[in-house]
Amino acid sequence: MQSLESLDPRTPVIVGVGQFAERIDDGNYQGLSAVGLAAAAAAAALDDAGCDQRSLIDRIGTVAGIRQFENSTPRAPAPLGRSDNFPRSVADRIGADPAHAILEVGGGQSPQHLVTELSRAIALEELSDVALIVGSEAISTVRQLATAENKPDFSERRGGQLEDRGYGLSGLVRRYHSTHGLTDAPSQYALFENARRARLGMSTREYAGAMGELFAPFSRVAARNPLSAAPVERTADELATVSDRNRMIADPYPRFVVARDQVNQAAAVIITSVEAARELHIPSEKWVFIHGHADLVEKPLLERPDLSRSPAATRASEHALELAGIDVGGLATIDLYSCFPIAVFNVIDRLGIDPDDPRGLTVTGGLPFFGGAGNNYSMHALAETVIRLRREPGSFGFVGANGGTLSKYSAAVYSTTPTAWREDSSARIQSELDEARGVDVATVADGAVTIETYTIKHGRAGKLGVVVGRLVDGRRFLATTLDGDEAMLSLLESGEAIGQAAYVRSIAQGNRITTDRAAADKWLPHRKARLRSDYEFVTVHRDEHVLEVTIDRPEARNALTPRANDELDEVFTAFFDDPALWVAILTGAGDKAFSAGNDLRYSASGKPMWVPKNGFAGLTSRRHMTKPVIAAVNGFAMGGGFEIVLACHLVVADPSARFALSEVNVGLVAGAGGLVRLPRMVPEKLATEMILTGKQITAETGLAYGVINRVSSPGSVLDEARALAREIMAGSPTSVRVSLAVMNDTAAIPDTLDAVAHHCNAMDELMVSEDMFEGVAAFGEKRRPQWRNR
């Protein structure tokens, strides 16, 4: 034990904590904004420090803020407005003028992470010696007043210096997840919960009871906490039993065991150096020290080896205790982030803590009952821990803070016992976690599979099963159930699905899981693509062996919606399947545009988005294009339109044609092949400039660099494309098809001689084809060959 007198003057110490909350049904309800709530908590923390407040305020050099939900994702709604500089708005309210303001990344780990980070910075003299951390949520008030006739305006244009660290969503938000229903926290955490249930061999009824037994003591703590958003004590049976009030959200979660976000809560922490605390005459009985700490990050959800565990959380907890020099038995208080039961189970399973430990697993009441105050819950846990440790000097308290989907974990051990700053080994442990082999992920899944875990989402539109499974090669995939497939839903609802065989089939909108192949054939039958005459967005014209395809949306510059892409995909699948069709020509209606790519107005409408498995226009991701497709570019080919052009074998352009990968100008990237194909076609510097600036090139420039084959005379691009098609058809269609197949097979072989020596099965097809014999015979007989394409 170190004495106060022997401490390094730069040793960080927590000297003040504050909390504030208001409920709409309270008699003294004020309807405060997030800034107003945070300022009230900051004022309470200043008062808690027990010194001259003006002197303390003047010493605050850093104010760090926790993001609200309305500022945690791009374009998140803020119905009543918000401050453009939350930390400085709060500082203004308390009369502080810090040199540095920070807006931390999102995630429930952020309060604890900031405490550790700023404490380290004070210890290493990288930061001023007094820092204030504040966080708040006014979700309940915003929802209450958003539609009020005289609703308040919480907007503030504060400006000023701000270190905005971003949303912190990297690795957490995936298009693959969202297209398969994983758009909310309950459904993602439910996957972990059901995986743990299966590992323990528990029935759904048994596990529901275990969740109730875990959280019933939390509700008792919340019922005694005047700051709780839901101060109601509930029994284990109440929590476990589904009812009208406790409706199922995502199996196995009924509403009562899910974090409560309708809160008006705020908390604040003041950290100083020991030297500053002495100079400000802050009583030493207020001082609380960090004895151990750790910050770790988990692998992306689908890459984790075991979906029933989070080693990042447990290793962080163990390391914080190790650094503090105590074990779990030495803790007087424990607060584990409790957004969902699995976040608690995961830690206590590893640390050997009983769910009914007499010390309790929360000091506040937990997120479902005290309130899941956005990213800021653990600031409340820390504040309450500090208060309890002061009441019992020399005792130790643990705070575990979780962010993302068991993705980021920050843990710390606190005590009034003086200690020097201790550096942790989180970087070393993180390297070990990163080096552990993850699971390979398949975004497109087809065939027999095994169910690994699942959830069933319950919404107004009905039930949706979301399944994580393994293909026979071990790769992990996501899939959802099909509307009307009661057999698959019944299997999931039985609680015995994990480890069972099933069948998955991919479609444009994602992977769909059924009980077996017969069910897949019933719900998603393989239909042979055939050309139709009643397309909505496309016209087709067949001229003997040539198929002319026209994107028919001239009013939208031939931009493509999901349904337009589906039609093109159907058309080109029919083209490649029809032996009587040898060449295809793709063009756009009108004379202004070949295609403007993705229809941005449609994308911005909020309607469902998807792209066929074969990519834009059914071409950009198609693997087996063994018949020539000619792009007849009659105007602008922009963004996805240019990517379609790059995917075609041959390109003819009108002199007025313009080409550009313009995605960067609308916040997108050329992800349908443009980023790959263009640098392989043109000089690297030109490709880079076009990709990074959206620069347009003319038809002549495209011709010079080999992007296009021919420039037609004005207005005759389709005639020129037809002429090119006739030149191709003068040769053997079998030879053309085999040539393209060999080119495709050898494209990825870097060494020329290796590529030449590579055996392609298509060559065997040629050797026994009628066209080869006909070609040789016609040459010897000095006549035109009569190709049979077989």
What's the CA gap between 320 and 293, in Å, rounded?
4
- Single out the residue in 523, 546, 573 at which a domain terminates: 523
188 part of a folded domain: no
| pLDDT value for 389 | 98
185-200 vs 204-223: helix crossing angle, rounded to 10: 120
Does the pLDDT value for residue 391 go beyond 90? yes
| pLDDT value for 766 | 65
Q: Are residues 424 and 455 in the same domain?
A: no
The encoded tokens of residue 555 equal 């009013």
| pLDDT value for 397 | 98
| pLDDT value for 485 | 95
Backbone phi, psi, residue 132, to 5°: -115, 130
Does the pLDDT value for residue 699 go beyond 70? yes
Q: Which residues, in sequence order, are CB contacts of 723 under 8 Å at separation 6+? A: none
Does the pLDDT value for residue 349 go beyond 90? yes
Amino acid at 434: D
Give residue-wise pLDDT tens across range 212-242: 999 999 999 999 999 999 999 999 999 999 9
Burial 402-418 (b: 16+ CB within 10 A, else e): bbbbbbbbbbbbbbbbb
> 94-97, long-range: CB within 8 Å, 24+ apart, which pairs?
94/39, 94/42, 94/43, 94/46, 94/57, 95/54, 95/57, 96/57, 96/58, 96/60, 96/63, 96/132
233 part of a folded domain: no
Query: Which CATH number does the domain housing residue 19 bear?
Result: 3.40.47.10
Does the pLDDT value for residue 483 go beyond 90? yes
Does the pLDDT value for residue 522 go beyond 90? yes
Give residue-wise pLDDT tens across range 603-633: 888 788 888 889 999 999 998 898 999 999 9
Percent of the chain with pLDDT strictly greater than 90: 81
Q: Are residues 610 and 690 in the same domain?
A: yes
What's the CA gap between 504 and 362, in Å, rounded?
42
622 part of a folded domain: yes
- Look-up of token digits 């041959």: 650
Compute the Cα dihedral for 717, 720, 726, 727 and give only its sign. negative
Q: What is the mean pLDDT of residues 48-72?
A: 96
224 part of a folded domain: no
Q: Kindly indicate the confidence band of residue 790, based on its pLDDT and cuts at 50, 70 and 90.
A: low
Q: Which residues, in sequence order, are CB contacts of 179 under 8 Å at separation 6+? A: 509, 510, 610
Least confident of 82-86, 395-399, 528-532, 657-661: 528-532
Does the pLDDT value for residue 490 go beyond 80? yes
Q: What is the mean pLDDT of residues 335-344?
A: 97
Average pLDDT, the chain: 93
Does the pLDDT value for residue 325 go beyond 90? yes
Percent of the chain with pLDDT strictly greater than 70: 98
What's the CA gap between 657 and 635, in Å, rounded?
4
| pLDDT value for 774 | 65
Per the CB < 8 A criterion, the answer to whether 166 and 151 are in contact is no
Q: Are residues 586 and 659 in the same domain?
A: yes
Burial class (CB in 10 A: 0-12, 13-18, 19+), 752: exposed
Q: Are residues 577 and 489 in the same domain?
A: no
532 part of a folded domain: no
Q: Are residues 721 and 767 in the same domain?
A: no
130 part of a folded domain: yes
766 part of a folded domain: yes
Q: Are residues 584 and 696 in the same domain?
A: yes
Range of the domain at 757: 733-780
Q: Which helix (H) or strand (E) holds 191?
A: helix 185-200
Name the nearest CA neighbour of 691 among 642, 740, 649.
Answer: 642
What's the CA gap between 153 and 429, in Å, rounded?
46
The encoded tokens of residue 713 equal 């005379």
Q: Are residues 306 and 400 in the same domain?
A: yes
Does the pLDDT value for residue 27 go beyond 70? yes
| pLDDT value for 775 | 63
Q: Are residues 163 and 303 in the same domain?
A: yes
Least confident of 188-197, 334-343, 763-772: 763-772
The overall longest dimension of the chain from CA atoms, in Å, is 110
**What's the distance, CA 426 to chain centroid?**
24
Q: Are residues 591 and 701 in the same domain?
A: yes
Query: Which CATH number does the domain housing residue 476 bear?
Result: 2.40.50.840
Q: What is the mean pLDDT of residues 104-122?
A: 97
Residues catalogued as catalytic: 643, 663
Q: What is the mean pLDDT of residues 13-27?
A: 95
* Number of separate domains in the chain: 4
Per the model's pLDDT, the better-predicted residue between 508 and 472 turns out to be 472
The encoded tokens of residue 452 equal 């690994």
What's the CA gap between 684 and 686, in Å, rounded?
6
787 part of a folded domain: no
The encoded tokens of residue 502 equal 């099933």
Q: What is the strand order of the sheet 583-588 is part of? A: 538-543, 546-551, 583-588, 629-633, 650-653, 710-711
Strands 538-543 and 546-551, by their bridges, are antiparallel
- Look-up of token digits 């062996």: 545
Q: Are residues 464 and 364 in the same domain?
A: no
What's the CA gap between 77 and 604, in Å, rounded?
15
| pLDDT value for 783 | 75
Q: Are residues 470 and 338 in the same domain?
A: no
- Single out the residue in 706, 729, 752 at which a domain terminates: 729
- In sequence order, the β-bridge partners of residue 412 are 293, 399
Query: Which CATH number does the domain housing residue 582 bear?
Result: 3.90.226.10
Read off the DSSP letter of residue 371: I
Q: Which residues, in sequence order, are CB contacts of 452 under 8 Å at separation 6+? A: 195, 307, 467, 468, 469, 470, 476, 498
Q: Are residues 489 and 629 in the same domain?
A: no
- Single out the residue in 729, 746, 768 at which a domain terminates: 729
What does each C-alpha distance from 244 to 249, 262, 330, 377, 522 come to in angstroms?
A: 12, 19, 43, 28, 35
Q: Kindly indicate the confidence band of residue 711, based on its pLDDT and cuts at 50, 70 and 90.
A: very high
Strands 333-336 and 248-250, by their bridges, are unpaired
Give residue-wise pLDDT tens across range 560-579: 999 999 999 999 999 999 99
Q: Which helix (H) or strand (E) holds 82?
A: none
What's the CA gap between 763 and 734, in Å, rounded?
10
